[in-house]
Amino acid sequence: MRDNGDVKSTPTDFMTRASELRRRAATCAPGGVHSNVRLTGPDDIIDSAQGARLYGVDGADYIDYLLGQGPALLGHSPGFLTDPICDAVRNGMIVGGQTEQEVRAAELLCAALGWPDMVRFGLSGTEMVQAALRLARAVTGRRLVIRFEGHYHGWLDNVLITDRDGVWEAASAGQLSSHLDDTLVLPWNDADVLADVLERAGERIAAIIMEPIMTNSGVIEPGPAYLERVRRLCSRYGIVLIFDEVISGFRLGLGGAVRRYGVTPDLALYGKAIAGGVPVSALAGREDLMHRIGTGEVNHAGTFNGWAPGMAAVVATLEYLRSHPPYASIAEYGTQLMAGLREIGESVGEPLRVEGLPAVFHVSFGEADVTDYRSLRQLDLDRYASLASALVRHGVWVAQRGIWFISAAHGIAELDATLTRFKTAVKDWLAGRASGRVSDLLGP
CA–CA distance, 310 with 123 (Å, rounded to integer)? 9
CB of 342 closer than 8 Å to CB of 352 = yes
Nearest Cα to 400, choosing from 381, 415, 421, 419?
Answer: 381
Among 58, 211, 266, 372, binds ligand PMP (CB under 6 A): 211
Sheet holding 205-210, edge to edge: 118-122, 281-285, 267-270, 240-244, 205-210, 144-148, 183-186
Report the nearest approach of ligand PMP to the CB of residue 314 (Å). 15
Nearer to ligand PMP (CB atom), residue 170 or residue 360:
360
Among 121, 152, 270, 365, binds ligand PMP (CB under 6 A): 152
Nearer to ligand PMP (CB atom), residue 149 or residue 244:
244
Residue 356 near ligand PMP by CB under 6 A: no
Nearer to ligand PMP (CB atom), residue 307 or residue 365:
307
CB of 385 closer than 8 Å to CB of 434 = no
CA–CA distance, 12 with 28 (Å, rounded to integer)? 28
The window from 91-99, 150-158, 194-202, 393-401 that contacts ligand PMP (CB under 6 A) reads 150-158
Report the nearest approach of ligand PMP to the CB of residue 142 (Å). 22
CA–CA distance, 110 with 117 (Å, rounded to integer)? 6
The window from 21-29, 102-110, 148-156, 233-241 that contacts ligand PMP (CB under 6 A) reads 148-156
Among 76, 153, 231, 410, binds ligand PMP (CB under 6 A): 153
Half-sphere exposure of 320 (CA within 13 A, CB side): 22
Residue 265 near ligand PMP by CB under 6 A: no
Among 118, 246, 252, 441, binds ligand PMP (CB under 6 A): 246
Sheet holding 53-56, edge to edge: 46-50, 53-56, 61-64, 396-397
CA–CA distance, 107 with 318 (Å, rounded to integer)? 10
Residue 362 near ligand PMP by CB under 6 A: no
Among 122, 271, 334, 358, binds ligand PMP (CB under 6 A): 271
3-state secondary structure of 406: coil
The window from 60-68, 121-129, 191-199, 352-360 that contacts ligand PMP (CB under 6 A) reads 121-129
Residue 216 near ligand PMP by CB under 6 A: yes
The window from 6-14, 223-231, 240-248, 323-331 that contacts ligand PMP (CB under 6 A) reads 240-248
Among 126, 217, 424, 439, binds ligand PMP (CB under 6 A): 126
Provide the mask over 275-314, with x wherever binding to ligand PMP is found by CB under 6 A and - wherever it is not: ----------------------------------------
Residue 69 near ligand PMP by CB under 6 A: yes
CA–CA distance, 27 with 169 (Å, rounded to integer)? 31
Report the nearest approach of ligand PMP to the CB of residue 383 (Å). 23
The window from 112-120, 244-252, 259-267, 419-427 that contacts ligand PMP (CB under 6 A) reads 244-252
Report the nearest approach of ligand PMP to the CB of residue 297 (Å). 25
Among 44, 244, 355, 372, binds ligand PMP (CB under 6 A): 244
The window from 242-250, 392-400, 410-418, 422-430 that contacts ligand PMP (CB under 6 A) reads 242-250
Angle formed at CA 344 by CA 343 and CA 349, multiple of 5 degrees: 100
Residue 149 near ligand PMP by CB under 6 A: no
CA–CA distance, 83 with 90 (Å, rounded to integer)? 11
**Strand stretches in 358-417, DSSP E:** 360-365, 396-397, 403-405
Q: How far is CA 230 from each of CA 1, 226, 245, 264, 270, rounded to the nearest angstrom?
A: 48, 6, 16, 11, 20
Residue 243 near ligand PMP by CB under 6 A: no
Nearer to ligand PMP (CB atom), residue 132 or residue 191:
132
Return the CA Rg of the chain.
22
Q: How far is CA 56 from each of CA 45, 65, 181, 439, rounded to the nearest angstrom?
A: 6, 15, 44, 11
Q: In what helix (H) or strand (E) does residue 240 lie, and over which residues does it extend?
A: strand 240-244
Contact residues: ligand PMP, CB under 6 A:
69, 124-126, 129, 152-154, 211, 216, 244, 246-247, 271
